[in-house]
Amino acid sequence: MATRTAQPSLRLLKPFLRPAVWPMVGGFVSGLGYALMSGVGLPAMLKTVMPVFFGREEEASPQVVAAAKALFGEDYAAKLLLVACLGMPAVMLLRGLCALMNRYLLNLAGFRFLDGLRRAVFARLQELPLEFYQRHKAGDLVSRLVTDAQQLKHLVTALSEDLIKQPLLLLAALGFLIYTSITERSALFTLIALLSVPVCVIPIRAATTRLLRRARALAYQSGELAAAVTETVQAPLEIQADNLQSRQQERFDQQLRVLLRLSMKAVKYESIVAPIIEFIATVGFMIGLYFGVKSGIDFATFSALGVALYLSYEPIKALGSIQAKIRSAQGSFERLAAILTAPDTVPDPPRPKPVPAGRQPIRFEQVRFRYPTQALDTPAALSDVDVEIAPGETVALVGPSGAGKTTFALLVPRFYDPTEGRVTYGGIDLRELTKADLRRQIAIVPQNPALFHATIAENIRVSRPDASDADVIEAARRAYIHDFIQSLPAGYDTMVGERGASLSGGQRQRIAVARAFLKNAPVLILDEATSALDSESEAMVQEALKQLVQGRTTIMIAHRFSSLTLANRILVFEQGRITGDGPPETLRRTHATYRRMQELQQLA
């Protein structure tokens, strides 16, 4: 079920509205010109000039007749007709230009707003902590940034013609109606006709309230569909290997059926507004006509009032459609705004301290950590962790799956903050350093490194964008990947494909090692970079890692005990606690769990 999201405040929107102010002002001015020429100009022409052309001078405006006689003499009708016939195209041309400028400028304002919003959402997605990504599906987030933003773009395009013009046209037409009714003593006709205006609001409000609920559900379901598609296209091997195609197809079909049902409900409520308003408007007009004729209204006045009434009902119908479209897109906007307002659970300090220079010790002081998604009745991911890692020391973290090794390592670059206790670098609490400054001191080689759809050189250079070509080549040499790169037809300019699909696991790992060499950070985190490799690839990566750890403070998550040759100290984790700490040889003699794990791996 889609959950109700708090509506974004104007303060949130202000930065995105600022670049759109002047196009909005221009759109308002041009819309005002269009409204005056339509809502006042056309009825006024019918009321004041047209009777002269049909020999009904007594129904025409005395001021117009007097002015025409003064300019053209007693035989003014033919010349006034010529002026009107020449002037009307000019007025319509100017009216059309106003409509064009109104639509163009409002589109420009809307697209500037959306451009700023999309940029801000994308930037925010890159800043939000890992906890946020654990609570949201990747496909849903992609859907928000692409599909929901596109929905808003369609809304801007759809509304650009009506958003300013129709309200102003309504005001101009109503203003002419009221003025004419007062001066011509035809107030009864107008009053009865205008009574239908507030009645039109009732179906609009009822339909748009229901439409908003459907729009929220529709936006949520679109995210679910995108998540299902993303999950499928990211795992083609597993789906085909286990013959899951029919299951995935059924899930996709089910999502589409729900999406179709919600879409048609939204269409129903969008479409029902205009016919209801047309019916109410016709009833009001006919009642007004009846009483107007009974009160002795003349034909010229009735024609002018009729046109003005028509011009006022059309904006009401258009405004009802506008409100329906806005409600329809509100769910999409709320989903984007939810990213901007998502809390940063790992905030930068208001007054950050500088990072200590040189190699520094890392200390965990009575650290306890529980993931926000963990149930309260389950053990914490880390409990009572109190340990110090000396500068230049290579420490391996071992233990069963779920024992807390990865959590321990993730606290060092501040992907999470401790629930209790603190982690320090050079005696300074990590929460007193900015994340950017801290992470410049840390290089990470993950178990499954992410490569971008770019050249090999660009993928190595991500750790230090300003690095020279010579630095990139040297890092590749030290990672034992240079010779392979040179063997490729385009060398370092070879595109690696999405997620590095064109490279083997060992090659991707060595590119990740090359990144770490290039970054040359004093702290290194290795998430078992050889666990998924064959023996030959593992040997090459291990050789590269031996060089990489030299002189660096290294924390290594060890799944394979063969990688422990790099470590001079072992931390054994069990159920979130450190139960063993010492050199490998000592722990093999004194720590039963460590000894049993090593024996099981040797047997395997």
Task: Give 94's contacts (C-beta < 8 A, 6+ positions apart).
Answer: 33, 37
Query: What pLDDT does residue 1 have?
Result: 40
Mean pLDDT computed over every residue of the chain: 79
Q: What pLDDT, in 10s, does the model give residues 89-106?
A: 777 788 888 888 888 888
214 has a pLDDT exceeding 80: no
**In the chain, % of residues over pLDDT 70:** 72
- The domain spans of the chain are 10-340, 364-441+557-604
* Closest of 214, 198, 226, 220 to residue 325, by C-alpha: 214
Reported as a pLDDT band with limits 50, 70 and 90, residue 8 is low
How far apart CA 340 and CA 362 sit, in angstroms, is: 33
- Reading the block at residue 444, the tokens are 């990470």
- Mean of the pLDDT values across residues 1-26? 68
DSSP 568: S
Query: What pLDDT does residue 118 have?
Result: 83
| pTM beyond cutoff 0.75 | no
Task: Give 309's contacts (C-beta < 8 A, 6+ positions apart).
Answer: 173, 177, 190, 193, 285, 288
* Chosen CATH of 364-441+557-604 out of 3.40.50.720, 3.40.50.300, 3.30.572.10, 3.50.30.50: 3.40.50.300
Query: What pLDDT does residue 4 have?
Result: 47
What percentage of the chain's residues is helix, strand, coil (to nearest 5)? 65, 10, 25
Task: Give 367's contacts (C-beta < 8 A, 6+ positions apart).
Answer: 382, 384, 385, 386, 411, 418, 420, 421, 422, 423
Reported as a pLDDT band with limits 50, 70 and 90, residue 153 is confident
Residue of higher predicted confidence among 23 and 227: 23
- Mean of the pLDDT values across residues 163-182? 74
- Mean of the pLDDT values across residues 231-244? 64
Domain boundaries 10-340, CATH class: mainly alpha
Amino acid, res. 229: V
How far apart CA 422 and CA 365 sit, in angstroms, is: 5
Residue of higher predicted confidence among 291 and 494: 494
Reported as a pLDDT band with limits 50, 70 and 90, residue 419 is very high
